[in-house]
Structure 1
């Protein structure tokens, strides 16, 4: 599993934007930036929709005021689902990223097998990334939502 002080592994993440599909390499996306990246098991799922994403939406301005260049949400879903979920949550200030084949999640060592729920998904976590290096990593215990929420991450800045 990735740890604090580690450089992010390179992978490609997808984002559906107005002009169509945009693919981001992790190395380029996080270079020379201060970013909050949070991940969750699935778009439109209960805790993710009721608490995790909404917390970052609500506090987006406060993260920006503390020098965060952008906030990104990643899930093992496709870019169409991530865009639809972001639109339904009014997440215009959150970069909604798809890890469709779970390659980024697996490279981090933060995957989990959910069986018939959805197969390989991401564990719930949040990290502060500075110039491609993980400076804070908060991984949730199974079925927990205590350390990856927006309030906890805002407090580390």
Structure 2
């Protein structure tokens, strides 16, 4: 599993935007500056839709005040599902929705979870703070938990360092 103080690995993620499908290498995307990447087990799922993603949207300005240049949500869903999810929740530009369509990047990070017949390969629920391509903080939830990857928790950690 990726560890704190480790270099974020290269990979392939996508998003659906105004210009169609965009491709991102996380290592390049997060190479400079401070970024938050959090992952959810699935778009349109209850905790993800009602708490996890909306928490980051509502606190986006406070993250920016702490020097965070981008907030990014990753899920093992395709880019079209992620776009529809963002549209339904009306998140705008506060959070970039990134698709790890086949779960390969989540597996590279060691943060994949095989849910079997329920949903196959998914991402574990986590959040990380990335500074200049290095994972400065990593918050991985225990199974069926939602605490340490919540926006408020991550923001409070950043504020405590000021």
TM-score (norm 2): 0.95
Residue 145 in 1 paired to residue 136 in 2? no
Deviations 1:27-85 (A, max 9, x none): 21001121010001000001001100010010001001111000000000000000111
Structure 1 segments, 4+ long, off by >2 Å, are none
Aligned to 2:52: 52
Deviations 1:112-152 (A, max 9, x none): 11111210000000000001110000000000001000000
TM-score (norm 1): 0.98
Aligned to 2:109: 108
Distance 2:91 2:115 in 1: 26
Gaps of 5+ in 2: none
How far residue 156 of structure 1 moved from its aligned partner, in angstroms, is: 1.5
Aligned to 1:133: 134
Distance 1:58 1:100 in 2: 26
Aligned to 1:25: 25
Aligned to 2:36: 36
Deviations 1:65-112 (A, max 9, x none): 111000000000000000111111122210000000111100100001
For 1:127, what is the secondary structure of its paired residue? strand
Q: Matched residue pairs, number?
A: 157
Distance 2:26 2:152 in 1: 25
Gaps of 5+ in 1: none
Query: CA RMSD, aligned part only?
Result: 0.7
Distance 1:84 1:21 in 2: 13
Distance 2:108 2:133 in 1: 14
Aligned to 1:7: 7
